[in-house]
Chains A and B, each alone.
Chain A
Amino acid sequence: MTTLTAHDVALTYRNGVDALRSVSIELHDHELVAVVGPNGAGKSTLIDVLGGVRAPDAGRVEFDGVSLVSLSAKARARSLAHVPQNLDSIPAVSVERFVFAGRYAHVSRWRGATDIDREAVVAALAAADVTHLAARQLSELSGGQRQRVLIARALAQQAPMLLVDEPTAALDPRHQLAVFELLSTLVLERGRGVLVVTHDLNLAAQFAQRIVLMDDGTIVGSGSVDEMLRLEVLEPVYGPRLHVGRVDGVPVVLPWRSLEDSHE
């Protein structure tokens, strides 16, 4: 079993904001964990720290018991893949070339790419259902296509764990569902461990095995969908204007303006 663990990690930004205060969390293979919480709760910072992209001020992050700090950048990238919310700039490359960047941690500087690398790219393109886009320029793609390509690049890294930051932020409902179905397939059929940061409680409800609720740099609760998506748990964090119902037995959370509010 593969495990990613954070022990009491804390991180303060230079402007004095405590992004994380003593956060502990575990992620295993074969599970999809959704990290939810209001804006500024520290979710994206947690992804950076778990992925080793940013070092915490205190505490430690371990992959299978080995501290991330002691791993080389390439060794870390072979264990943990990161799907960013967006890129600083869209490079002028084809989808295939872009996905090939996921092989950076595997390719030897002097021997160059091997058949194993090429096969990994082909497999990643197929798994994310973007094989038909391989020859297209990255800049030509729609938001939904680009999100799948970002996931394909992370899959090419062949890391057992994926850290996914807000994958559905700019997508229409159909593509939101498609992205979560893809992530879920990776967990159920390929045994990956996936940690996804999302604002969408309802997608989390349908796909996550576990929900972690964050607020103000700390984890305020963690548990199954049924345990977490209850008014008593959500209201202290999101405020009172919520409605929790059920569709097909799965909790549904809606921002809800009650009748009393509308008469004020």
Chain B
Amino acid sequence: MASLRDIKNRITSTKKTSQITKAMQMVSAAKMNKAEMNARSFVPYMEKIQEVTASIALGSKDVSHPMLTSRPVKKTGYLVITSDRGLAGAYNSNVLRNVYQTIQKRHKSPDEYAIIAIGRVGRDFFRKRNMNVILDIVAVADQPAFAEIKDIASKTVGMFADETFDELYMYYSHYVSAIQQDVTEKKLLPLTDISSSKKLTSYEFEPSAEEILKVLLPQYAESLIYGALLDSKASEHAARMTAMQNATDNAKELINSLSLSYNRARQAAITQEITEIVGGAAALE
């Protein structure tokens, strides 16, 4: 049996760890609320741009744009959004496992795909496996502003335009609720599944539909990427909050069982001491 002092040390260190995890849980909860608000304030922009894009792309038949048409696929792009840090439960591994398996299934050689990694965990994962990471961005803020990812978003969209890859999939963790996040695969480019629930309006175009699509479609694709990032940030904080809550609960349980064995050991020591004294007194008589 472990000595009294060993048990006491373990109790203290577990207590300290649980204090840390508790603090992290509260920080994540606050960040999650903020991230949820960010995601919400993005919705009006997204809805509007979707509506206009749908009106133009579906409304007039004779418009065409490279980003709207599928072409033979020689190379596929994967945009993977993960976090920079761990301690978020299965948040990163769920996304990465999904992407990894998909790539193994779909492609035979690394020439057939290219990876764009947002987040350090994802970047390191693919680099370590010698997979073709062509673009990466790390240290994205917890509450990212659009300006921060504008660069990578427009580069990604640009790569589709200059035929670095011929289709682009996006993998991220979709925020359902504080306790549920689902890995989502979304085909970003070409934009084939544009739809709108609202009634389509027929617009006058100034100067022409083609000119407008040239401005609108990249902006639309970039905002889809930004939307996914906001979504996965909310998931990240939710996942971390749940993970830290579990850790705190486990620590509490561990402290309880350790205190029990500490008290037992203490009692055993006292009993032994009494026995020794009584034994000693009896020997003197």
Does A associate with B in a complex? no
Which residues does A use to contact B, with CB under 8 Å?
Answer: none
Which residues does B use to contact A, with CB under 8 Å?
Answer: none
